[in-house]
Structures are given as C-alpha cells and as structure tokens.
Amino acid sequence: MAEEEEGKEYRWETGYEKTWEAIQEDDEGLLEGSVAEIIQRAKRKRQAERHGNTRLGMMRHLFLVIDNSDCMSNQDLKPTRQLCTIKLLEGFIDEFFDQNPISQMGIIITKSKRAEKISELAGNPRKHIKAVQQLTQVACSGEPSLQNALELALRSLRMLPSHASREILILMGSLTTCDPGDISVTVQNLKAQGVRCSVIALAAEVHICHKLCRETGGLFGVILDDCHFRDQLFQHIDPPPAATFLDSSLIKMGFPHHLMQEGKEASLTMCMCHVDSTDGEGGRLNSGGYFCPQCCSKYCELPVECKACGLTLVSAPHLARSYHHLFPVDNFKELEFRDMQDKIELCFACQKRFGEHDKHVYECGTCSRIFCLECDMFIHDLLHTCPGCATNHSTSQSMSNDSVPPR
Amino acid sequence: MKLSVDGLLVYFPYDYIYPEQYAYMLELKKGLDAKGHCLLEMPSGTGKTVSLLSLIVAYMIANPLSVTKLIYCSRTVPEIEKVLEELKKLMTYYEKERGQAPKMVGLVLSSRKNMCIHPQVSKERDGKIVDGRCHSLTASYVRERHNYDDSIPICSFYEGFDIEGREVQLEPGVYSLDDLKEYGQERNWCPYFLARYTILHANIVVYSYHYLLDPKIADVVSKELSRSSVVVFDEAHNIDNVCIDSMSVKINRRIIDRSTANIQLLEQTVNEMKEDDAKKLKEEYQRLVEGLRDASVARETDVVLSNPVLPDEVLKEAVPGSIRTAEHFVGFLKRFVEYLKTRLRVQHVVLESPASFLKDVYQKVCIERKPLRFCHERLASLLRTLEIADLTDFSPLILITHLATLVSTYTKGFTIIVEPFDDKTPTVSNPILHFSCLDSSIAIKPVFDRFQTVVITSGTLSPLDMYPKILDFHPVIMSSFTMTLARPCLLPMIVSKGNDQVAISSRFETREDVAVVRNYGQLLVEIATIVPDGVVCFFTSYLYLESVVASWYDQGVVDSLQRNKLLFIETQDAAETSLALLNYIRACESGRGAVLLSVARGKVSEGVDFDHHLGRAVLMFGIPYVYTQSRILRARLEYLRDQFQIRENDFLTFDAMRHAAQCVGRAIRGKTDYGIMIFADKRFSRADKRNKLPKWIQEHLKDSLCNLSTEEAVQDRCLGVIGYRRNELQQSII
C-alpha cells in the first residue's frame, strides 16, 4: 500500500518474482499451465450440471455492478484490473445479448463509498458497451460500497413484473466495503425480493460476498488469472433456473418487419432509438426501419421495448435463440481416446485428426458421432445443435419437431 | 460408521473418519489397556472430542468392570456444552444402530450461577452472590429454623430435591445444562444439587478443571469418584498454571482490612451466642476434642480423593487445645492477621521459605505450626456453629486461613514473596504478600494417584516431553498427531527481516528500535491490504503493544492501516476488550474488514476462536516470553532447576512457544478453515524454537518459508499456496 503510493518505483526495484516457480509440471512431466486444465474441467462440470426441461428465467434483468475503487488500479491483471475488466465486459455484453436477446441489462459502478448508475436497464448492447468503454476515462478512487450499489439496483429491479428474473452480478476487486448501514438487512431484502446475486471476486474470498451469494442463491467465484476471469464471467451468460416463486404469465410481443419504402420518394425519418441522442453516429435520418405494429414508431434495431407504447419488439429468430436454452444438446459421453484409437481418426465436426494430445474424445448420445474437446465445447456453448444429428435425416427430423418454437 | 480399533468395536457417529482420528483412538486404547496416563496432541478441528468420547464409551461398554466412569474436564462453559452435544450425537447413533441407547447417564456440572432455577437467585449475575444466596436458602440450620418459623425463606427446589430426588436415579441419557434445568423445572428439583448428587453414579461427567484440581472445590464435589475412572483434561496446554493458581494465595492490604472487619464480626457473634446459646459452643468444643475422626475414617477406606490442603496427619489428630474454644480461636486469628499486617509493612522485597516464615511467626506472635494447620477447618467449623449463612462476606478471612493451613503444611515447593510495590510503579506503595506454589505437580498429584487413566490432550502440547517433567508423572503413551488435509489450508511463515533487511525481533535490546517497529508496521499494512476480512495480531505484552501503537501513529502506519481495515485494540480492561471484540466481529461480518491488536497470554489469546473469516491471518510479533523479572517466576525457575533438572532457558522457551502456538492456533479451527500464520521474529527460525512448535504447524513450515523478508512474505506465490484465490478448488474438494 505504502509502496503503491510512492508510485515512482521502477520494475527492477519491486523485488524479484520467482516466475519460474509458478510453472508446474503435470503428471506426465509436461510444462503446461495447470490453470488451463482447471478451467476446462470446470467447464465440463458446469455443462454436465445443465439439464433440459428445467424452467429457466428467460426474460432476464441483470444489473452489472462494477467495482471502480482504488484497488481496481492494481496491476495483478494486465494492464490493470480495471482495463482488463472492461475488455472482458465488452465481450460479455455482446455475448449476453446474443444468447439472451429478450433480456435487459443495466450497469452500476461503485467508488468513493457511492454507487452510480451509468446505464439504465435496457436491451441495447451498444449503449452498454459504450458506457463501459467510457469507464476507461474514469479514475479509480476510494472504497466501494456494496450496500449502496445493491440498494440502487434493487430500486430498479423492484419495479419489474413478477415473471421477470432479477439478477445482480458484482465484479468486486476490493477486499472491503464501506457501507452506510447494516448490509445484512439489504441481503435479506434482496432475498425477499428474489434477486439472485452473484459475485466474481478479483482478489480473494470476502465473507460478506460469499454470504450474499449463498443467501440469494447466486454463484460466488474467485478468479485465478485473466483466463479464469473470462470463464467465470461467461458462465453468467446462460440463463439461471427460474426461482420457484416466479410467476408465469403471457407476454404481449410485437414482431415488426423491416420496411423499406422503395421506388417512391422515401421520406427520411429519425428512429426512436436515436431520437434523443446527440452524437452523430446513427442519428442520421434514414428511410428504412422496424415499425411497431401497435403504434408505428420506428426503430432501427431489435430487440427493443417500444418507447411509445411499451410493447416488447422482437424478431422470431431472437425468440428462437432464447428458446434453445430450454432444450440444450444432451451432454456428450466422455471416452478415453486410448480405447477408441483403432476405430476413429477424425473429429466429425472439424475433421481434425486425433493425436497424442487428445486424452478424451466425446460421443453424441443420439447420433454416436465422435467429436474433439473443442468442438464439444463449441457445440454446447454456441451452436446448440449437434452437427452429427443435423446431417442425419432421421434424427434432425425428430429434433426439429421438438426444438423449434411455435411462432 | 462402525469400526474396529485394535479389536474393539467402536460406534462412530459420522460417516467418515479422518486417519488421525483413527490413530488417536489406537493410542488412546493402548493407554486404557495399560491403565496408564496419556499425553496426546491433535490440532483443533479434527474431531478430538468425538474420537475421545466414542472410544471411551465403546471401551466402557466392552469392559464394564475395568472402566466405570469417564470424567471429562474442559475449560469454559461453551466448550463443555460442545462436549455434551457430541455426546448426544453419539448416543443417538448408538440408539439408531443398536435399537437402544446404552444405559449410561451423562451429565454436566457447573456452578450454581449457570444451573440455578430459583426465580430470584438465578437473576444475579455474580457467581459469588449466587453461591451466597443459595447457601442462605439451603443451609441446614436455615431449613431447621424454617420448620418452626414459616417467615424464613427457603428454596422450594432444594426442598423438592431433598424429599424425592435422592431416591430416584436419573434416567439413562445425556443431560446438558438446559436439559437439567428443564428436568428440574418439571419435577421442582434443584438442578445443581441433582447434578452434584448424580455425578456419583453417572457414567459420564463433564465439568470444569477446577472441580478436580482446586483443592477447595475438589473436596466438596469430587471426593467420592471411584478409582476405575478415566479422567480427560481437554485443552490442557495450561494445566500447570491452573494447578499453581489453585494452590497459591495472594494477600494485599485490602484483604487484610476486610478480614479484620470479618474478625470483629465473628467476635461479636460469638459474644452474642455465648449469652443466648452457650450450649452450642460447648457441643462444638466436644466435637473438636474428638477430632476430625470421621473424615479420617472415610479416607482410610480409600473412597475419598485426598485433599492436598489437608494432609493425612491432620485428620488423625484432635484440634489443638489453643484454638478449640471460639474466643481463643478468634483471638488467634486476630494475632495472625496483625502479624501479616506487620509483614506487609516493608520497604524492600522479602523472599523467604515457608519454614523461616513459620519460625518468624512463632517468635513474633507465639503462634505454633500445629494450630495454624487446623486454621482452615476450624474456621469452617466455627462458621457452621455460628450459623452464618452468607459465606461470601467471609471470603477474605477464609483466604487467610487457607494461607495459614498451606504455609504450615508444605515446606517444599512453595515460597513467600513480599513486594512493597509494583515493579512498574515503584513510587506507589502497594504491598502484596505472595504465597506462591512453585511445583505444579502438588495439586495434580492426587489426581494422577487416584485415577487409573488420566488423559491430557490439547491442540498445542508441544514439546510433549516437558509436561511429564513439570507435572511429575509417567505417561505410558505420548503422541502428537498432525492434520491430514486435502489441500494445504494453513501457511506458516517466519518473517525475519523487513524490506530494508533489518532483522526484526522483539528482543529487549532491539524492541524499541525505530526500524524494527517500522518494519512490524509495514508487515501488518502489507498483510492488511491483501488479506480479506479479519487479521489478528499478537504482541508480547500490553506495554509493548502500547509503545508500538504510539510510534505507529507517529510513523503514519495507523493511517495506512485504516485505509484498508478498521483497527481494534485489546486493553487490560475486560469490558473494553469485549466491546472491541464485538465490534471486530461485526466489522468482519459486514465485509468492512478489521485488524485486532491483542496480547499473547491476554484474554483474547485464550478462549476466543477466530475461525473462518474472523481470522484469515494471524501475526505473532515477537516471541511471547513471560516477564522474566518477576520474582515469582524466578523462584519457580530456580525450583524447577533444582528439583526437576529443567534448565531455565528450556522452560522459558517451552512456555513462550506454547503460547505462540496457542495464539496462531486460534485462526485455524477446522479443516474447512484456512489462514496464514506469520511469526515475525528472527529468533523463530532457530532450530530450538522451530522444533518446539506443534507437529501440525511444523509440517507446513518448509525451509523456504523460514527466513523471509516482508515483501517475500506477501508475494502472490505464497498466498497462492493457501488458496486465497482458489476458493473454487476449495469448494470442489470439501
């Protein structure tokens, strides 16, 4: 602490780090970062835990709480904790809306014992990314206040309808929190309101964070390095199982078409999303757009909540993409490559030749095709259909019957 | 689970057993088979209590003749309650597995303060007042008087117990404090007397050390326990000090003054009684002529735990003539107190043996040794005769008679030191007469002689070979067990120098050195920035704590500390300390983080657990040597050297290291717990210090962790070992 403040220290003055000791040999004497293995194992484990046929909170309302206090300028993540976090968040926000198109997100930062909302609860990833990117300009200062941040998030989340899932994800760099009152009351409030709080700690396990997660049913994780950080962060992309007391209700949605008035003299109009933004980009007048079926307001992109009439506007593929979380591809069977060596040579998906490095291969339970680890991950994380089943006529028929959503 | 320990079927109430628990049971079984004493060290949180209980209970069931009773002694009430909980679990398991619980009575005995259910008396906070008020409601003459005068209050619960309680045996089962109280409420019986009566035939008794070790209490409570009992002293790392404290007396001016007042009251009462009821005094006289024969009969049959205060010879003789009548005895006491008063009027330190003290008493006030020996018993008899109900008022006088009896009984192993003033305040006259026991084996000897197996166990008993020497017994089993861990959850480190390479040490010559104090401060600040939640620091003394904190203020260390965590300090004031402790816990719970500065041998270092987030790191600043200038300690060291051939330095190191281990051991209270232990003193890395740490700490103290500077200690590499960042892995394993 005292050293950091002096700040004028050169790298060679900071004493020696025995970096060679951090590298460990694995069982076979190979120098491989043990961290990568941990992450992979954890990923597989998480996948294995996922089952079909559970109720998921699909309309997610997530508040990101970002610690922006003093200790975020710590350099244990390169270049600094703050910059690393921002970089990862950009990817996270994109991916989040890609996988959960009918969800909304808001961003809160906490520093100097205060909490501040830098981005309201909304479904537009670009706006959030911009807000996050602007954080690079903000200096890290003071101590964070967990309670203020939680209260602020709760104030917005409380208003939501009962079918919406409410979540808070906290990125905590600090080991302390400076709160105005008794935080355990806030925790109980959150629990009563059914808000699921998760914490990713960048430094170490802090009791109150752990308790918060345990009480509200969220996940708690401490990162090992930036890769692990990414992994911890991205596991929040999959929608969590719905809380039992979440109501189910019918939601009115609009499916606007993209209209371009061609041929005629197109009248240039502003879209509703950019009507009050002052910066030039996107604020230009154009002729095409999505028109709300209820009130004919124009929007340049979907999904969005209509500003005029409050209707949720989505396109069918969005809904379908959200839907596939409900029917995940069954977990593949893990097989020892050694036993399979004679029978199989190539990964069915990427056509990679299996070699010495592959300890395990993975078999789809339905079509019995064999995949490598990377493809296994890719199929389950992103693709959500098994290429083996999709190319096989009989299985793809049966699959499409139960996985394509009714329009 | 059921398992066989060396052929003995043991029911173990959990599904899993740690290897060290099994090893512990094996050793314990060997000790029970050999009917000898054991000394066993196993870290806290590894299930010592349940291993002990399940093995001994199994042994009692298998060999009902050789072991009939388990006496489990622990230190504090919460610890005692924990034992009862484990015992209940064990009995439930027996019931589940065998269809019926074994026919055993297990119960707890505690002071009246914790057990009283009388609506008014139980409201009192002070233990002594509860005892006094209880006595004034239950003494035999009070109850007698109540028979013809209804206005004299008595305790209905005691009456209830007296009428029915002695006939009925307690149903087999386990009774905790609350169970006993409830049981008492239901039947209108006094739980305290019920428990005291029941321990005679109960199979498992759980109570505090003092009921066995303190001769004043042991005589009343534990004298009729049978020989074929197993006695367990848990958390017994300080047992020698408990022994010594129970045999030592400290007298200052205040006690003298109050006992003078006591004597006046006695005199007055005797005179009054002489006018009203001279017969009673005469009866007492007759009784005394016949001597304390009844007591000696009891002792000959060997059913009584012999009381070291009252040696056998005393019982065989009649009370000497000079103190037989009440007036004479009061006069005798008056003379003795006057004599003590003159002894306190000194300008310089006096150190003398009991023998020369006795001689001096004889010369100055003509008091012989023999009547002095009977002083304690005689006073008790007089108080009974005078029907003085509230004994609390007489505690100073009782203390003085205690001194009289002890000083005339023992000539070896004790010393008398009169100090005219406190060493810290040489100008303020505050004379104290210490009658100090030097030999811890005196108090515990009857226990070792009396019972076939005595088990001494704790988390920190290293070095083991010291205890047999200072307690003067021959254990058949002496073992230290380590903790098997799925991953290293403790990280001991010895930090010997600061960033500027100046060696840090609390040696007397360097402790006030600015560089040392600054380096200590820097170490703490660095630790406070990287460790979440609670950090506990131990200093060697209050004095040193104060001076260090003062210079930290000047150096700005306190400011930078407070940037990360709140700061709490233990003081000598008990109320202040418990307030600080309370707020420390609150700060840790709410995520604010806190640092607690406390003192080895203080209240915090004994008995307060800093488990999980309450102590993620402990720092030991310096080696907690006892204050070596103390005359009592010097006398004891000399005695140990002459009698037991223990070198002074060996004992001091032993004592310091067990306290250091005790302090750092506060942070790890189980396998799921994790924390850093930092020994910040150059001298810790020397082999003679390092080897005296408990095995379970030594095991993790690798050579590479032994001679670190501050920055090496706080490197990520070190913390990575322990899993500050590996929470995930930890969860997957546990």
- pLDDT tops 90 at residue B155: no
The pLDDT value recorded for residue A3 is: 37
Tens-place pLDDT, residues A365-403: 888 888 888 888 888 877 788 888 888 776 655 554 444
B155 secondary structure, DSSP code: -
Helix, strand or coil, per DSSP, at residue A18: coil
Q: Which amino acid is at B358?
A: L
A280 secondary structure, DSSP code: S
Q: From the list A2, A177, A207, which residue is nearest B525 (CB)?
A: A2
Q: How confident is the model at residue B52 (pLDDT cuts 50, 70, 90)?
A: very high
Please identify among residues 195-224 of chain A the ones whose CB lies closer than 8 Å to any CB of chain B. 201, 203-209, 220-224
Q: How confident is the model at residue B728 (pLDDT cuts 50, 70, 90)?
A: very low
Domains B2-104+203-236+452-480 and B490-732 agree in fold: yes
Q: Which helix (H) or strand (E) holds B92?
A: helix B77-98
Q: From the list B532, B564, B589, which residue is nearest A1 (CB)?
A: B564
Report how far residue B374's alpha carbon sits from residue B155's, in angstroms, rounded to the nearest whole number: 33
Q: How far does A196 lie from chain B, in Å, by closest CA?
A: 19
> Within an 8 Å CB–CB cutoff, is residue B725 touching chain A?
yes
CA angle at residue A120 from A117 to A121, to 5 degrees?
A: 125
- Tokens encoding B241: 């000090």
For residue B590, the chain A residues in CB contact (below 8 A) are 177, 179, 182-184, 208
For residue B592, the chain A residues in CB contact (below 8 A) are 176-179
Question: Mean pLDDT of all residues in chain B?
Answer: 84
Interface size A-B, in CB pairs within 8 Å, comes to 92
The pLDDT value recorded for residue B570 is: 92
Q: Which residues contact B307 (CB under 8 A, 6 or more apart)?
A: B215, B218, B219, B223, B446
The pLDDT value recorded for residue A11 is: 47
Please give the class, per CATH, of domain B2-104+203-236+452-480: alpha beta
For residue A203, the chain B residues in CB contact (below 8 A) are 530, 532, 724-725
Q: What is the DSSP string of B43-65?
A: -TTS-HHHHHHHHHHHHHHH-TT
Domain residue spans of chain B? 2-104+203-236+452-480, 247-439, 490-732
Helix, strand or coil, per DSSP, at residue B337: helix
> Within an 8 Å CB–CB cutoff, is residue B565 touching chain A?
yes
Domains annotated on chain A, with CATH: 54-236 (3.40.50.410), 253-259+283-317 (no CATH), 329-393 (3.30.40.10)
What's the average model confidence in pLDDT over B229-246?
88
The pLDDT value recorded for residue A353 is: 82
Rg of chain B on CA atoms, in Å: 28
CB B667 within 8 A of CB B677: yes
CB A110 within 8 A of CB A64: no
A55 secondary structure, DSSP code: -
ipTM over 0.85: no
Q: From the list B532, B560, B716, which residue is nearest A205 (CB)?
A: B532
Could you give the C-alpha distances from B471 to A316, B225, B241, B319, B444, in angstroms and in order? 84, 22, 11, 33, 7
Q: Which helix (H) or strand (E) holds B133?
A: helix B127-138
Q: Which residues contact B280 (CB under 8 A, 6 or more apart)?
A: B273, B385
Q: How far does A177 lie from chain B, in Å, by closest CA?
A: 5
The pLDDT value recorded for residue B368 is: 86
| Residues pairing with B595 in the sheet | B535, B567
> Within an 8 Å CB–CB cutoff, is residue A150 touching chain B?
no
The pLDDT value recorded for residue B227 is: 82
CA angle at residue A386 from A384 to A390, to 5 degrees?
A: 115
What's the average model confidence in pLDDT over B547-566?
92
Could you give the C-alpha distances from A156 to A131, A145, A194, B71, B575, in angstroms and in order? 18, 18, 13, 61, 44
CB B674 within 8 A of CB B722: yes
Q: How far does A205 lie from chain B, in Å, by closest CA?
A: 6
With pLDDT > 90 as the criterion, what percentage of chain B qualifies? Answer: 24
Q: How confident is the model at residue B293 (pLDDT cuts 50, 70, 90)?
A: low
**Alpha helices, DSSP H only, in B645-715?**
648-664, 687-690, 695-698, 710-713
Q: How far does A132 lie from chain B, in Å, by closest CA?
A: 26
Q: From the list B528, B592, B726, which residue is nearest A177 (CB)?
A: B592
For residue A208, the chain B residues in CB contact (below 8 A) are 589-591
The pLDDT value recorded for residue B199 is: 85
- Nearest to B204, CA basis, from B171, B231, B177, B179: B231
> Within an 8 Å CB–CB cutoff, is residue B727 touching chain A?
yes
Nearest CA in chain A to B533: A206
- pLDDT tops 80 at residue B453: yes
Nearest CA in chain A to B710: A15
> Within an 8 Å CB–CB cutoff, is residue A276 touching chain B?
no
What's the average model confidence in pLDDT over B191-207?
87
The pLDDT value recorded for residue B525 is: 93
Please give the class, per CATH, of domain B490-732: alpha beta
Asked if A1 lies within 8 A of B529 by C-beta distance, the reply is yes
The pLDDT value recorded for residue B733 is: 34
Q: Tell me the residue ranges of DSSP E strands in A23-172.
A: 60-67, 104-111, 114-122, 165-172
Q: Which residues of chain A have pLDDT under 70?
A: 1-55, 57, 242-247, 260-266, 275-284, 356-358, 394-407
Q: Which residues contact B238 (CB under 8 A, 6 or more apart)?
A: B606
Please identify among residues 177-196 of chain A the ones whose CB lies closer than 8 Å to any CB of chain B. 177-179, 182-184
Tens-place pLDDT, residues B298-338: 443 333 344 445 555 555 566 777 787 888 888 899 999 99
For residue A184, the chain B residues in CB contact (below 8 A) are 589-590
Higher-confidence residue: A145 or B609?
A: A145
